[in-house]
């Protein structure tokens, strides 16, 4: 057996069979139903948080809105002016969140955000106006209303004290009040998946699912209120639907994905800061994809199947094979390896042969295809559950946006597993967490007035 054949044989475990896909779809559905029902929700992995967003944009929203987008190592403040249908102006600025604040106190975090908000309002001459704000907060939230959300747990490298179990809207309001210099009305708190769905629905009224495949992975979808036993408070009889934030990154925390997990998945989990949590996310998202590929490459190098058995210090160091490398390596035209060689050179593997390049590329393809297929199993399950004849899925996130084949892999797989009479399409979201937040605030204002 040739070296390449040995590598291909050992990569089989990274390839999901149709049978496995069907089983994953069954399990996703079961977990989502557990999250929707009162008696199973407390112990469910996939929490299916109610967002209390019941109105999609109709394109008639107008006015100036602020949006705040916090979901990763930096956050954005946006000023959005909605004009006529599908016409808007947007100004935004990105602010860094230093590691010391990501791991510091909640007070420090929200004071930092409030300060940046005030500076932004000064810069754009809206310092004296009272503007509605939509707050995208892309961490697991238990929502008790459109403007009340308790942080369930930190993810993605954050660990600020004094925030878990608290209402993050109140924490932001308190920080703004401590400054006492700007007037802001927080109209809604939402997750980036909700923002993605709203942003796409503004352009395409068929949008029923919002999906993120970026640093993390999550989805939200439109559910019938009657299926949402956790819906709290007044139910408007004219509103039959509500958006559900699945928080499906936690799918598999109870072992539901163990039958397809590999040694690489177990190693990533073992060295993560949230061991045993967000199991599906760790098999899909950009935070882990490069590391999954690195672990396989290291294994095959140590077995003498890659680079003549000679690795490098960088290759053997955790976290040094970035997810963007996977996208770059797969961007090479078949039979050419210019991007691949650039990456391997950066890793100190100048001695790689063409065969090594082909094998590294194959490993990357296995890891990224598995991610796309796992996401597709979830989306196909949701589309079949909603059973509407035509559905648009709004998608955002760096992996979906920048990986050269992710979109096509998903369309192909979803088509294979969705009921034959249902048509669907995937639409790249234009700035869901920014414009989407403003739209949720705009719709909330439209409803309130």
- 55-190 falls under which CATH superfamily? ATPase, nucleotide binding domain (3.30.420.40)
Token pair belonging to 254? 């109870």
Strand partners, 89: 81
- Asked if the model's pLDDT at residue 84 lies above 80, the reply is no
SS3 at position 150: strand
Strand order in the sheet with 390-396: 49-50, 241-245, 217-224, 207-213, 390-396, 423-428
Return the pLDDT at 297: 98
- Asked if the model's pLDDT at residue 86 lies above 70, the reply is no
The average pLDDT across 212-241 equals 93
Q: Is 156 a catalytic residue?
A: yes
- Domain coordinates of the chain in residue numbers? 1-51+204-430, 55-190
Which residues, including other chains, have CB under 8 Å from residue 408's CB and lie 6 or more apart? none
Task: Encode pLDDT of 35-70 as tens digits.
Answer: 999 999 999 999 999 999 998 888 778 889 999 999
Q: What is the pTM of this model?
A: 0.90
Q: Is 192 a catalytic residue?
A: yes
Choice among 45, 47, 156, 396 that is catalytic: 156
- Asked if the model's pLDDT at residue 223 lies above 80, the reply is yes
Return the pLDDT at 225: 96
Q: Which residues of 16-26 are buried (b: 16+ CB within 10 A; e: fewer)?
A: beeeebebbbe
Find out whether 151 and 49 touch, Cβ atoms under 8 Å: no
- Asked if the model's pLDDT at residue 438 lies above 90, the reply is no
Number of C-alpha atoms within 13 angstroms, CB side, residue 15? 11
Find out whether 85 and 73 touch, Cβ atoms under 8 Å: no
Choice among 45, 111, 167, 192 that is catalytic: 192
Average pLDDT, the chain: 93
Return the pLDDT at 448: 61
Task: Encode pLDDT of 321-357 as tens digits.
Answer: 999 999 999 999 999 999 999 999 999 999 999 999 9
CA distance 433 to 198: 9
Task: Encode pLDDT of 235-277 as tens digits.
Answer: 899 999 999 999 999 999 999 999 999 999 999 999 998 899 9
Assign a CATH topology to domain 1-51+204-430: Hexokinase; domain 1 (3.40.367)
């Amino acid at each position: 057996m040739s070296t390449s054949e040995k590598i291909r044989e050992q990569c089989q475990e990274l390839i999901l069979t149709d049978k496995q896909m069907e089983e994953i779809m069954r399990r996703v559905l079961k977990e989502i139903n557990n999250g929707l029902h009162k008696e199973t929700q407390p112990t469910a992995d996939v929490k299916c948080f109610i967002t209390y967003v019941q109105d999609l944009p109709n394109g008639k929203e107008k006015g100036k809105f602020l949006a705040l987008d916090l979901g990763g190592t930096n956050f954005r403040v946006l000023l959005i002016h909605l004009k006529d249908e599908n016409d808007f102006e947007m100004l935004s600025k990105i602010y860094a969140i230093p590691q010391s604040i990501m791991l510091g106190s909640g007070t420090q975090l929200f004071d930092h955000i409030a300060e940046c908000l005030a500076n932004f309002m000064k810069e754009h001459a809206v310092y004296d106006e009272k503007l509605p704000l939509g707050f995208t907060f892309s961490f697991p939230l238990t929502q008790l209303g459109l403007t009340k959300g308790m942080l369930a747990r930190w993810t993605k490298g954050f660990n600020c004290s004094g925030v878990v179990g608290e209402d993050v809207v109140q924490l932001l309001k308190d920080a703004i009040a401590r400054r006492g210099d700007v007037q802001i009305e927080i109209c809604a708190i939402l997750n980036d998946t909700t923002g993605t769905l709203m942003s796409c629905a503004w352009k395409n009224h068929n949008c029923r699912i919002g999906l993120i495949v970026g640093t993390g992975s999550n989805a939200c979808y439109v559910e019938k209120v009657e299926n949402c036993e956790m819906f709290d408070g007044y139910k408007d009889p004219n509103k039959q639907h509500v958006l559900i934030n699945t928080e499906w990154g936690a799918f598999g925390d109870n072992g539901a994905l163990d039958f397809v997990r590999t040694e690489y998945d177990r190693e990533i989990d073992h060295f993560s800061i949230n061991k045993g949590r967000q199991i599906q996310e760790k098999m899909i998202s950009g935070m882990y994809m490069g590391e999954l590929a690195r672990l396989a490459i290291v294994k095959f190098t140590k077995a003498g199947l890659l680079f003549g058995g000679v690795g490098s210090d960088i290759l053997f160091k955790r976290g040094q094979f970035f997810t963007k490398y996977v996208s770059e390596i797969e961007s090479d035209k078949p039979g050419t390896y210019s991007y691949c060689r650039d990456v391997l050179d950066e890793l100190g593997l100048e001695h790689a042969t063409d065969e090594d390049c082909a094998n590294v590329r194959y490993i990357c393809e296995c890891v990224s295809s598995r991610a796309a297929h796992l996401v597709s199993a979830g989306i196909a399950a949701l589309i079949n559950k909603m059973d509407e004849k035509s559905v648009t899925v709004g998608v955002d996130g760096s992996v979906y946006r920048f990986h050269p084949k992710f979109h096509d892999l998903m369309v192909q797989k979803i088509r294979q597993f969705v009921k034959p009479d249902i048509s669907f399409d995937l639409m790249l979201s234009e700035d869901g967490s920014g414009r989407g937040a403003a739209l949720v605030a705009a719709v909330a204002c439209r409803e309130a007035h």
